[in-house]
């Protein structure tokens, strides 16, 4: 079985499996892939027992992450388990878990262990560790991407439903690309950094690897929250608001790079994947607009060529001064350069960054979001060992600027090379557009319909068992709030998740309402003998957020009761008869998506 949240929640709801059985299966998979060098510390049976015993006295209805296994990058604290940052001489054992880790555990998630990483989170390759190079999930001769190497591979190989990584320069995105995963690099501060060992404290953020966008969104909703103990923690100012930050109007307009600013570093297979991906996206009706990527490229160089390396030196200076031999040669070489910077250089770099940021803002304001390759090319482990710094730098071409500019990003798989190696794109937006980006990424994931991770069940074959929860409300949607549609953000930003794709009873008619954008349908109860079954999605919405959701619904739409084909009746969108003036009856299409495709 795959370990997506939808699959596991469905299995638990039907009593097909227990958390103890899931963790036994996870342990078998960990043993099967031991040679991938994924774990620095895999929890023992004795260490897992308290988590399992707690769940045996709890209900899946009461815990949103009941029995969901997850992995933790070993620069993030888990109480009672050493944090090493891939350096034994640095190791310490925390008494408390990181703020984000504790929120996930409180929600019922089970930690599998601490994962391998590029030492002190310094690298995008996944090879810079005394625990060995973390091997790619598709091809063990290739790099996994770093620094969050083990976290990504653990999800791709079915050892965790999701994992936590960190990202300063691209570590939450490059490994996602190379292992066929969704990688969420949230806005800085959206996830608390308390209990995370900093690399560059002013830039770092905890990231999420998942099999699909719905899973990533569900984890983000639980993990986020302002933390008074973290000076960089921020709450989302746009949450539950009708600000345009969460939606797009009319055809989706995405910025892409002109040919002369693309670089695949001689890797023709990735260049072909990129062009195929863009062609499919454009064919789906998305408008692709060339924009100037030059300010982003220049800012990317500042991360390692400018004064920000000094932050890495601050984080490791006690050890690097007393025991420099404890660090790998390549790690020590990179970090030690941070000791030589001056205040004059720091201010000059800040001035230049400010100018570049202004130019980048102009670019981002011209489109709904930016789209780039996640990485220019993959490399073999042997190639990286021979030239560890240059090749690592190449991997940051599309990623290094993001935290310097305080942006949000979502990496999403969009294809495979002819040899079967994963490829993906990254969506980029301003800070706190996380949900909008996830909504667009969800659209892309549905468009490309790739398998999940490595050797996982097909994306379309996930269980759709209803999830019971006394503090949530099932809502049926039929149009602009569907997955990948312009208003889906209004659900996901409130912590809603998809329960099922189904049909109404054959008692309804569907109309394309006048006006827009966004264009919307109206679902009405049909006259006797004139109805048909309409495609709908059922979403689980937190009861605490239901009121604000309903308040934002404009006339002539509203919330009433909708009958589904399984005999259940749920809250759902209905339309007042007065709103049908000028509307087109599209009932014969059977659903909004089919109507849009035909149109």
Is there a catalytic annotation at residue 358? no
- Predicted pLDDT of residue 574: 83
DSSP symbols for 353-377: HHHHHHHHHHHHHTSSEEEEES-S-
Domain boundary at 437, 467, 497, which? 467
Are residues 196 and 94 part of one domain?
yes
Are residues 388 and 337 part of one domain?
yes
Are residues 531 and 421 part of one domain?
no
**Contact (Cβ atoms closer than 8 angstroms) between residue 307 and residue 347:** no
Are residues 521 and 459 part of one domain?
no
User: What's the CATH number where 231 sits?
Assistant: 3.90.1300.10
Are residues 532 and 433 part of one domain?
no
Are residues 457 and 481 part of one domain?
no
What are the tokens at 149? 């190497």
DSSP symbols for 39-54: EEEEPPHHHHHHHHHH
Are residues 535 and 501 part of one domain?
yes
Q: How far apart are CA 148 and CA 166, in angstroms?
A: 6
- Predicted pLDDT of residue 462: 30
**Apex 19 CA angle, 131 and 412, nearest 5:** 60
Q: Which of 97, 137, 163, 171 is catalytic?
A: 171
- Predicted pLDDT of residue 469: 36
Q: Which of 4, 73, 137, 504 is catalytic?
A: 73
- Predicted pLDDT of residue 464: 31
Q: For residue range 34-88, what is the model confidence (pLDDT) as tens digits?
A: 999 999 999 999 999 999 999 999 988 889 999 999 999 999 999 999 999 999 9
Where would I find the H helices in 306-448? 309-322, 329-336, 343-365, 381-386, 388-395, 434-448
What are the tokens at 402? 């993001």
Domain boundary at 442, 467, 492, which? 467
Give the closest residue to 63 by CA, choosing from 113, 121, 5, 116. Answer: 5
Is there a catalytic annotation at residue 147? yes
Q: pTM of the prediction?
A: 0.78
User: Considering its fold, how many domains does the chain have in total?
Assistant: 2
> Which range marks the domain in which residue 513 is found?
472-598
For the chain, residues with pLDDT lower than 70 are 238-250, 306, 455-470, 516-517
Are residues 501 and 551 part of one domain?
yes
Domain boundary at 423, 448, 467, which? 467
- Predicted pLDDT of residue 458: 40
What are the tokens at 317? 């200076």
Q: How far apart are CA 52 and CA 172, in angstroms?
A: 29
Give the closest residue to 371 by CA, choosing from 481, 460, 446, 261. Answer: 261
- DSSP H or E segment with residue 549: helix 543-551
Are residues 187 and 70 part of one domain?
yes
Q: Which of 4, 97, 147, 233 is catalytic?
A: 147
- Predicted pLDDT of residue 250: 55
Q: How far apart are CA 66 and CA 107, in angstroms?
A: 7
- Predicted pLDDT of residue 142: 98
Q: SS in 3 state form for 403-418?
A: CCCCEEEEEEEEEECC
Is there a catalytic annotation at residue 336? no
User: What's the CATH number where 513 sits?
Assistant: 3.10.490.10
Are residues 435 and 480 part of one domain?
no
Are residues 590 and 527 part of one domain?
yes
Are residues 213 and 359 part of one domain?
yes
Q: What b/e string do you get for 194-230 counting C-beta neighbours within 10 Å, with b at 16 or more? A: bbbbbbbbebbbbbbbbbbbbbbbbbbbbbbeebeeb
């Amino acid at each position: 079985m795959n370990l997506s949240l939808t699959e596991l929640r469905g299995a638990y709801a039907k009593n097909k499996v227990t958390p103890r059985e899931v963790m036994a299966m996870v342990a078998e998979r960990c043993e099967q892939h031991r040679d991938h060098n994924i774990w620095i510390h895999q929890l023992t049976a004795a260490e897992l027992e308290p988590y399992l015993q707690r769940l045996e006295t709890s209900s899946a209805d009461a815990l949103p992450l009941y029995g969901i296994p997850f992995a933790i990058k070993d620069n993030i604290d888990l109480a009672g388990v050493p944090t090493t940052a891939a350096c034994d001489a640095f190791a310490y054992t925390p008494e408390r878990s990181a703020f984000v880790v504790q929120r996930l555990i409180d929600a019922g998630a089970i930690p599998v262990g601490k994962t391998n990483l590029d030492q002190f989170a310094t690298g995008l390759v996944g090879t810079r560790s005394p625990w060995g190079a973390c091997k790619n999930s598709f091809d063990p001769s290739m790099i996994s991407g770093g620094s969050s190497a083990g976290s990504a591979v653990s999800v791709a190989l079915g050892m965790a439903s999701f994992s936590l990584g960190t990202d300063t320069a691209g570590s939450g995105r490059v490994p996602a690309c190379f292992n066929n995963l969704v990688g969420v690099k949230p806005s800085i501060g959206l996830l608390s950094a308390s209990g995370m060992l900093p690399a560059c404290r002013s830039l770092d953020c905890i990231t999420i690897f998942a099999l699909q966008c719905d899973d990533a969104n569900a984890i983000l909703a639980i993990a986020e929250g302002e933390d008074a103990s973290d000076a960089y923690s921020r709450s989302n100012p746009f949450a539950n608001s009708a600000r345009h930050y969460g939606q797009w109007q009319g055809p989706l307009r995405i910025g892409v790079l002109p040919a002369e600013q693309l670089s695949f570093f001689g890797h023709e297979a990735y260049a072909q994947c990129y062009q195929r991906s863009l062609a499919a996206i454009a064919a789906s009706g998305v408008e692709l607009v060339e924009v100037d990527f030059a300010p982003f490229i220049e800012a990317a160089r500042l991360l390692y060529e400018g004064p920000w390396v000094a932050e890495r030196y601050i984080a490791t200076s006690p050890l690097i001064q007393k025991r420099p031999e404890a660090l790998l040669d390549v790690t020590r070489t990179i970090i030690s350069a941070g000791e030589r910077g001056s205040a004059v250089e720091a201010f000059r770099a800040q001035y230049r960054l400010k100018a570049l940021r202004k130019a980048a803002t102009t670019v981002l304001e011209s489109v709904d979001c930016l789209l780039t390759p996640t990485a220019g090319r993959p490399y073999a482990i042997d190639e990286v060992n021979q030239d560890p710094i240059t090749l690592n730098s190449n991997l940051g071409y599309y990623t290094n600027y993001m935290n310097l500019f305080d942006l949000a990003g979502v990496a999403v798989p969009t294809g495979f090379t002819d040899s079967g190696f994963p490829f993906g794109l990254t969506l980029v937006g301003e800070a706190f557009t996380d949900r909008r980006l996830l909504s667009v990424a969800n659209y892309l994931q549905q468009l490309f319909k790739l398998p999940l991770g490595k050797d996982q069940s097909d994306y379309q074959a996930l269980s759709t068992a209803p999830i019971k929860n006394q503090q949530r409300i099932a809502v049926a949607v039929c149009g602009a709030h569907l997955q990948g549609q312009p208003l889906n953000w209004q659900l996901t930003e409130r912590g809603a998740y998809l329960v099922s794709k189904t049909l109404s009873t054959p008692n309804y008619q569907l109309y394309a309402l006048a006006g827009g954008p966004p264009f919307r349908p109206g679902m009405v109860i049909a006259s006797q003998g004139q109805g048909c079954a309409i495609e709908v999605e059922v979403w689980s919405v937190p009861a605490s957020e239901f009121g604000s959701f309903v308040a934002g619904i404009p006339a002539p739409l509203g919330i009433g009761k909708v009958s589904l084909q399984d005999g259940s009746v749920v809250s759902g969108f209905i339309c007042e008869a007065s709103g049908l003036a000028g509307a087109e009856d599209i009932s014969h299409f059977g659903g909004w998506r089919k109507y849009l495709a035909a149109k």
